[in-house]
Amino acid sequence: MLDVEGEYVSAVKAALEGVGFEVLVNAVVEGVSGLKHPFDIIARKRDRLVCVSIKPPDPVLSLLEMAKSMDVRGEVFVAILGNPQELPREFNGKRFKMFSVKTPKELAEKLRELLA
């Protein structure tokens, strides 16, 4: 979890609350396996669970986030900061989405789009 990326976390929190989610910052969700998985944001709206991680461009961290998504019941969104050349620009699975963003505003807009 990134505590130095407060602007990004604030943008995500505001975007999710703006569409009716209850939001927890720097929270943990228990996976199907019983393991506890940390996320920058965990949000709930009725039966929908959304977990958001904000990460620097690092292939290993990206793979770890993908692995977490296999154990979590909800949707997992991973925002990669910057424009990483060693990672795909976007990855869209059914419950796992990874994408790169350059600004907090771009991240908030992308999440609103994905949650619509």
pLDDT tens per residue, range 57-87? 888 888 899 999 999 999 999 999 887 665 6
Give the CATH number of domain 6-87+98-115.
3.40.1350
Judge whether residue 27 has pLDDT over 60. Answer: yes
- Looking at residue 5, its pLDDT comes to 65
Mean of pLDDT values over 20-41: 96
Instruction: Say what the pTM is.
Output: 0.88
User: In this structure, is the dihedral angle defined by the CA atoms of residues 97, 24, 105 and 87, taken in order, positive or negative?
Assistant: negative
On the 0-12 / 13-18 / 19+ scale of CB atoms within 10 A, 8 is buried
Domain ranges within the chain, ordered by starting residue: 6-87+98-115
Long-range contacts of residues 61-70, Cβ cutoff 8 Å, at least 24 apart: 62/87, 62/98, 65/98, 66/91, 66/96, 66/98, 68/31, 68/37, 69/93, 69/95, 69/96
| CB contact set of 100 (below 8 Å; sequence gap of 6+) | 57, 79, 80, 81, 82, 83, 84, 87, 89, 90
* Structure confidence at residue 36 as a pLDDT band (50, 70, 90): very high
pLDDT above 80 (res 91): no
